[in-house]
Amino acid sequence: MSDLEPEQSGRRVVLRRASDIKPRRVKWLWDGRLALGTMSLFAGPEGMGKSSVCAWLAAQITRGLLPGENLGQPRSVLICATEDSWEHTIVPRLMAAGADLTKVYQVEVMSADDLHLALSLPRDLHQMEETAKATDAALLLLDPLTSRLGEALDTHKDADVRRALEPLAAIADRVDMSVLGLMHHNKSGSTDPLQLVMGSKAFTAVARSVHTVVPDPDDEAGTRRLFGTPKNNLGPTDLPSMSFTMAPHSIETDDGTAWTAKVVWGSEHAGSIRDAMQRGAESTDDKSATSEAAGWLGDFIEMNGGVAASAEIKRAGIKAGHQEHTLKRARQRLGLVIEHDGFPRVTYWRSEAHVGAGPQSEHQLEHQLEQTPRGELLTVLTVPTRGEETQSEQWEQLELHRETSPNRAPKCPTARPNGRPCGLRLRTRPEVERDCCNRCHDERQAVA
């Protein structure tokens, strides 16, 4: 039968009015990171502790401790893992993490001859749906995800991957469960965490969120890792990266003491996983230059009360022997926040400790007076989204040019009500006297 001939299998097109579909809020298994009813990925290099993080996650869910929809309500976790031994590795990890083992289920498939087989997608989807309902599962872990695709499917072909994952995502939605697939990074050397996921791009396309763990490039000991969420279709895209280390942990077994490892969470980092991966790809010389610039920048910010205009920082940094791109990497390493204010906008770099710290400093106000063309000062500092960072750099270049231009206009000397000189730049509008700025000219005209 050709593609143009009608099928006789009962397939048909079904229409629904959008008005008949009730909208639903997003319910989070893990606030802001893992949504219930969706599929997600967790990728990273081998040996970075992905499975240990998942053991921590399972422990939080089975104890009702995970911040989210089920906080205070323990639920079950299904684990389909074939790379590690349950007796020697998985169960000890779960015990070290504090999981309720009565709510964690090993997922296997048995043949008619009672042979142990691996779960295969999409072949075993129907039984997985029934199992999830029967156990009230909040999470299905697939470790590794690529091994769960049927033998006839190619993990490098989009169509094959979607045949397995899209029905799985639909089941997750029907049973109110999250599906988390673990995957390895490829050897491409990219600093884009989504491009590093092995296999077809359909893996990251179908997933509603993608989580990544990488070494912390700023940890000289080489033991700290960073967990982040570079893709988050249903939630915030500016979530902080979370640092963690792996600590040895002993458990008692019937035949003696066994050793495993558990996750120990550290501080949050304002920078993204992409930023960390880019820093990790720096050469030794670049890392040394960044370290020196970070030391200088930290001192400069601290001496200026925790905040300074980016144009002023770059001017002073270049004078101190640091290149502009090195200063930007130093800003990322220190986790300084970019903020904007005024019109035209002035860009500031602020330390996390001073974010939302109240009124603007006198230093900020004076700098903004120099930049504001007319009208009253804007008082609210705004934090840019990731999409605004390129535009932020353009503003910074403009501000730096204004500050260093030999044609910089003199300041308006007109006395303000507080007795101080106005301080705004003289303007060149034809109808404005050359001895004052636009604002003072307009005010004079209003009084007249």
DSSP states along 205-234 = HH-SEEEEEEE-TT-TTS--EEEEEEEESS
Asked if the structure places residue 14 within a domain, the reply is no
SS3 category, 257: strand
Asked if the structure places residue 11 within a domain, the reply is no
Domain stop point among 260, 278, 296: 278
Q: How far apart are CA 400 and CA 40, in angstroms?
A: 43
Domain stop point among 249, 278, 307: 278
SS3 category, 261: strand
pLDDT digits (tens, 9 = 90+) for 125-167: 999 999 999 999 999 999 989 988 888 899 999 999 999 999 9
The pLDDT value recorded for residue 359 is: 37
Q: Is the pLDDT of residue 208 over 90?
A: yes
Q: Is the dihedral of CA 345, 348, 352, 353 positive or negative?
A: negative
pLDDT digits (tens, 9 = 90+) for 377-420: 334 444 445 445 555 555 555 445 444 444 455 667 777 665 66
Q: Is there a single domain that holds both residue 352 and residue 426?
A: no
Asked if the structure places residue 61 within a domain, the reply is yes
Q: Is there a single domain that holds both residue 286 and residue 162?
A: no
Task: Name 287's Cβ contacts closer than 8 Å, sequence gap at least 6.
Answer: 217, 279
Q: Give the range with max mean pLDDT: 109-113, 314-318, 383-387.
A: 314-318
Q: Is there a single domain that holds both residue 289 and residue 237?
A: no
Contact yes or no for 183/204 (Cβ under 8 A): no
Domain stop point among 210, 244, 278: 278
Asked if the structure places residue 15 within a domain, the reply is no
Q: Is there a single domain that holds both residue 265 and residue 220?
A: yes
Task: Name 416's Cβ contacts closer than 8 Å, sequence gap at least 6.
Answer: 422
Q: How far apart are CA 173 and CA 35, in angstroms?
A: 10
Q: How far apart are CA 161 and CA 236, in angstroms?
A: 27
Q: Is there a single domain that holds both residue 356 and residue 428?
A: no
Cis peptide bond prior to 144, omega within 30° of 0 = yes
Q: Is there a single domain that holds both residue 165 and residue 239?
A: yes
Contact yes or no for 197/21 (Cβ under 8 A): no
Asked if the structure places residue 246 within a domain, the reply is yes
Q: Work out the pLDDT band at 334, boundaries 50, 70, 90.
A: confident
Q: Which two tokens stand for residue 144?
A: 């590794």
What's the pTM value of the predicted model, to 2 decimals? Answer: 0.66
Least confident of 180-189, 372-381, 411-420: 372-381
Q: Is there a single domain that holds both residue 38 and residue 169?
A: yes
Contact yes or no for 40/180 (Cβ under 8 A): yes
Count of domains observed in the chain: 3
pLDDT digits (tens, 9 = 90+) for 284-303: 666 678 778 888 888 888 88
Q: Is there a single domain that holds both residue 342 and residue 223?
A: no
Task: Report in angstroms the alpha-carbon separations of 380 from 163, 239, 362, 363, 365.
Answer: 49, 22, 15, 16, 12
Q: Label the pairing between strands 241-253 and 225-232.
A: antiparallel
Q: Is there a single domain that holds both residue 354 and residue 367?
A: yes
Contact yes or no for 178/29 (Cβ under 8 A): yes
Q: 382 forms bridges with which residues in the sheet?
A: 340
pLDDT digits (tens, 9 = 90+) for 59-73: 999 999 999 999 999
Task: Report in angstroms the alpha-carbon separations of 95 from 87, 98, 262.
Answer: 11, 5, 9
Asked if the structure places residue 10 within a domain, the reply is no
Residue type present at position 266 = G
Least confident of 89-98, 220-229, 344-353: 344-353
Q: What is the DSSP letter of 283?
A: -
Q: Is there a single domain that holds both residue 388 and residue 413?
A: no
Q: Supply the CATH number for residue 136's domain.
A: 3.40.50.300
What residue numbers bound the domain in which 170 lies? 20-278
Q: Is there a single domain that holds both residue 48 and residue 90?
A: yes
Q: How far apart are CA 370 and CA 383, in angstroms?
A: 22
Asked if the structure places residue 9 within a domain, the reply is no
Asked if the structure places residue 74 within a domain, the reply is yes
Contact yes or no for 36/28 (Cβ under 8 A): yes
Q: Is there a single domain that holds both residue 400 and residue 415?
A: no
The pLDDT value recorded for residue 189 is: 77
Q: What is the mean pLDDT of the chain?
A: 81
